Structures are given as structure tokens and as C-alpha cells.
Amino acid sequence: MLAVDGPRIVGAITLHRHTTPATYGVVEPMNVHPDYQRQGVGTQLWTAIAAQAKRLGDRGILVWALDGNEIAINFYSKKLGLKIVGTGEWWLLDHQEPATGFQVDL
């Protein structure tokens, strides 16, 4: 799903759905251009993808944020109110980075 401003793509979100019905989909990646952050673009993308996941029968959505990405951590935990469901490591190019998992039930 994309967010656009005229001809310009300003945000994107992808939901990877599980093959088993009524399980959790995974959002990866979600990006909003820095010039468009804090303007509701991310919230609109999240709301739209959550509505689509619910229509398609997903139980909820999981998303991981790198621990060094305070903007994402605050967005998922404070703005959206998602609960933390775990910590681990996420592959980033050729190495792993510490990450926090968030979840919402639909």
C-alpha cells in the first residue's frame, strides 16, 4: 500500500500474510518520507493495512522495530499503543541488529 502526494510516493507499507487462516500478518517494511513524518501519513497507512488485514481474516498484526530507531519505537508503542511481545534480532543487510516486536489484535 502506498501513500502519495500528487506524483510523489511519500509512504509505503507491506503486509505479509501467513498461509494459516486467523493468524498474525507481519508488517515489513513501513516507511514514511522524512518530509512527511508527523503529518498522519504513517497512521493512515497503518489504519488502512489493519482494516485490510481484518477484512481478510487475520487475527492481528506483528511488526518489528530496530532498537536504535526511536521514531519507529515511539510510533508503534505510544502513537498506536501496540503491545511489546518480544525482543530479538533482525537481519539488516549482512548482520543482525537488536529489535523489539510489537503486536495488535484485530
Q: Is the pLDDT of residue 99 over 90?
A: yes
Residue 47 belongs to what H/E stretch? helix 41-55
pTM, two decimals, is 0.90
* Distances, alpha carbon 60 to alpha carbons 21, 34, 63, 83, in Å: 11, 27, 10, 12
Predicted pLDDT of residue 89: 87
- Can you list the domains of the chain with their CATH numbers? 2-105 (3.40.630.30)
pLDDT, tens digit, for every residue of 46-59? 999 999 999 999 99
